[in-house]
């Protein structure tokens, strides 16, 4: 595996002891692994306190989406989190909101990289039609990618199925792919799922987010399975 590829491990729990176990058991000098924390941890009292003291760099997946003034207040509220290197805004909040968040991040925390989230990997074309979209997922994500790029976001979060078309048009846009499962693992609620190898090499993602395939059951065993998979 190329050293510049990043693996974000999703620590999707509010249990601090479990978070610490995930961090410990996924430590590996041959992989560039960065923890990703989401709602479960951030919205819990003990979780917020844990992140205040956590000094290593991490990805805080907030999917900020609101009117611009409220969205930039969210960035203000995390300026004490010194280890936070990545956070997310949702493209559905629009260009003005995303640009405002990027500009605010430059003032409050210059190292904070803002990522634009597109269509969730749990949705498919039927799902987005139910919401009211008339474009298919590929076209919609490519449209969102243009706004994310224009807003000044550091990167984009999109399914691997869209990553290749994003890279073709926006070569330098850092692309992160969720919806990752090791071969043979359950999809759970995900619909647009690929393996780590497919995401990083076939679809040209710069980074992947992997959760349950790595953190469910025996983490060390799962990590070895991931390493063997990437070394194929």
Domain count, the chain: 1
Find tokens 């199925």 and name the residue: 161
In the annotation, is 113 catalytic?
no
- pLDDT band for 224, please (50, 70, 90 cuts): very high
Average pLDDT over residues 105-122: 93
pTM comes to 0.92
Domain enclosing residue 95, as ranges: 6-230
Dump pLDDT digits (tens) for 18-71: 999 999 999 998 899 999 999 999 999 999 999 999 989 999 999 999 999 999
Structural domain includes residue 128: yes
185/75 Cα distance (integer angstroms) = 36
Residue 140 belongs to a domain with what CATH number? 3.20.20.70
Among 173, 191, 62, 66, residue whose Cα is nearest residue 119 = 191
Structural domain includes residue 192: yes
- pLDDT band for 122, please (50, 70, 90 cuts): confident
Which helix (H) or strand (E) is 70 found in, with range? helix 68-77
Structural domain includes residue 1: no
Among 147, 167, 217, 212, residue whose Cα is nearest residue 185 = 212
pLDDT at residue number 185: 81
Catalytic residue among 5, 21, 63, 225: 63
pLDDT at residue number 121: 81
1/8 Cα distance (integer angstroms) = 15
Structural domain includes residue 123: yes
């Amino acid at each position: 595996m190329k050293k510049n590829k990043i693996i974000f491990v999703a620590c999707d729990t509010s249990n601090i002891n479990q978070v610490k176990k995930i961090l410990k058991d996924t430590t590996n000098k041959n992989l560039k692994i960065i923890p990703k924390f989401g709602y479960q941890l951030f919205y819990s009292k003990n979780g917020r306190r844990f992140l205040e003291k956590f000094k290593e760099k991490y990805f805080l997946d907030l999917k900020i989406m609101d009117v611009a003034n409220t969205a930039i207040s969210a960035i203000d509220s995390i300026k004490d989190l010194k280890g936070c290197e990545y956070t997310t805004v949702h493209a559905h909040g629009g260009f003005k909101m995303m640009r405002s968040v990027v500009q605010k991040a430059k003032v409050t925390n210059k190292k904070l990289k803002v990522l634009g989230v597109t269509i969730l990997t749990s949705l498919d074309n039927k799902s987005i039609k139910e919401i009211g979209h008339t474009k298919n997922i590929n076209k919609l994500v490519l449209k969102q990618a243009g706004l994310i790029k224009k807003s000044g976001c550091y990167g984009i979060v999109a399914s691997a199925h869209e990553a290749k078309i994003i890279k073709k048009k926006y070569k330098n846009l850092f692309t992160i792919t969720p919806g990752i499962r090791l071969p043979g693992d359950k999809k759970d609620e995900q619909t647009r799922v690929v393996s780590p190898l497919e995401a990083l090499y076939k679809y040209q993602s710069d980074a992947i987010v992997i959760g349950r395939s790595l953190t469910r059951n025996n983490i060390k065993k799962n990590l070895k399975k991931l390493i063997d998979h990437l070394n194929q």
